[in-house]
Amino acid sequence: MKILNGAALSKKIKSVLAIEIDYLVKKHGRAPKLCIVLTGDDPASTSYVKSKQKSCNEIGILCDLRLLPYATSQDELLALIEVLNNDPETDGILVQLPLPKHIDQNVVLQAIDYKKDADGLHPMNVGLLNRSDDAIIPCTPKGILSLLKAEDIPITGKHCVVIGRSNLVGKPMAQLMLRENASVTVCHSKTRDLPHLTRQGEILIIAIGHPNLLHADMLKKGAVVVDVGINSVDGKLVGDLYNSIDVQDIEKKAAAITPVPGGVGPMTVASLLENVVEIYKRRCAV
Ligand code: NAD
């Protein structure tokens, strides 16, 4: 079984981006800039934001981190987004999710100028992706596709089964695989007879947010398995594939698997950096 090493590819993407940014700064006289807005102090979100900030710093993207208290009102957050939308120096805007419960996530995501939408979650970018047009693509699905392509995993004509239908991962992943000419099945918590469908997946992408669902007998022999999940079990970071009983059988049956950590996570960050540079280039070209 092959390990799809997202950490190594992410490192490679970052070093290529660093060279490109160096060139772009000389050409346009300023560095790309991402503004990350974090509302509240959720430990997981804080850790993701720090990792994104560190990666920006490593490759020459300016990272403007706005830390807002949990009690920030929706209007205050929207007012900040308007300022960032109109700031000529800000290329990408990322509002870290989840937002506090008193704030409507959809209203906030829609308020971001879709041309600065570094996470690709604005309805305009969702629509452009669905039309196979020039969208800013959500970072996790984009990173997964980059990893599959870098590893020469054939996609055209393959049956791709996506487990999970979130706006963040499952739905854009399915759209992206469709765009790449896979035949796509999307499964979710109300799917009947999940094993019947997962057994058909030549590429199986699992993004449900809890471990122990997938067992070896639910897998097609030779499947490429992408594990998106991030879960904490006994203080250890594990994916959705983590299964104390038969993880070794899964590994024997699959042709390739993404590890957790070191698989999809680093690719998500690399794709965010790519999105920021892409937005910057589009803005500089206008
Ligand atoms: P979500 O909670 O929004 O969606 C989970 C989806 O899984 C839902 O569509 C639900 O229908 C489906 N699901 C839940 N239980 C199921 C079951 N028993 N059978 C079939 N489907 C089931 O989560 P999300 O935002 O899509 O994230 C999923 C996981 O991926 C989480 O662990 C999250 O932390 C992780 N994640 C990782 C990265 C990364 O960079 N590695 C990025 C985003 C999300």
Each residue of 102-125: pLDDT tens digit? 999 999 999 999 999 999 999 999
Of ligand 1's listed atoms, the one at least distance from the Cα of 163 is: 21
Spatial distance between the Cα atoms of 18 and 34, rounded to a whole number of angstroms = 15
pLDDT tens for each residue of 130-142: 998 999 999 999 9
Q: What pLDDT score was predicted for residue 93?
A: 98
- The mean pLDDT value for 241-267 works out to 90
Q: Which among 97, 186, 188 is the best mutation to test ligand 1's pocket, defined by most ligand atoms within 8 Å of the CB? A: 188
Tokens of 72: 């920030």
Looking at this protein, which amino acid is placed at residue 10? S
- The mean pLDDT value for 162-172 works out to 98
Residues with CB under 6 A from ligand 1: 140, 163-166, 168-170, 187-189, 191, 194, 207-209, 213, 228-231, 264-265, 268
| Residue 43: Cβ within 10 Å count | 7
User: What are the catalytic residues?
Assistant: 52, 96, 119
Q: Which among 51, 166, 191, 268 is the best mutation to test ligand 1's pocket, defined by most ligand atoms within 8 Å of the CB? A: 166
Q: What pLDDT score was predicted for residue 243?
A: 72
Tokens of 187: 């499964």
The band of 248, judged by pLDDT with boundaries at 50, 70 and 90, is confident
Tokens of 268: 């998500």
pLDDT at 244 over 70: no
Of ligand 1's listed atoms, the one at least distance from the Cα of 269 is: 40
Tokens of 91: 């290329």
- The mean pLDDT value for 62-76 works out to 98
- The mean pLDDT value for 27-53 works out to 96
- The mean pLDDT value for 207-236 works out to 94
Looking at this protein, which amino acid is placed at residue 147? L
Q: What pLDDT score was predicted for residue 245?
A: 67
What order of strands is seen across the sheet that includes strand 33-39? Answer: 62-68, 33-39, 92-95
Spatial distance between the Cα atoms of 27 and 23, rounded to a whole number of angstroms = 6
- The mean pLDDT value for 225-230 works out to 96
- The mean pLDDT value for 195-201 works out to 98
Q: Residue 193 phi/psi, 5° resolution?
A: 50, 60
**Does 250 or 37 have the greater pLDDT score?**
37
Q: What is the mean pLDDT of the chain?
A: 96
Tokens of 219: 């897998």
pLDDT at 30 over 70: yes
- pTM of the predicted protein model: 0.97
Q: What pLDDT score was predicted for residue 36?
A: 98
pLDDT exceeding 70 applies to what percent of the chain? 99
Query: In the beta sheet, which residues pair with residue 232?
Result: 237
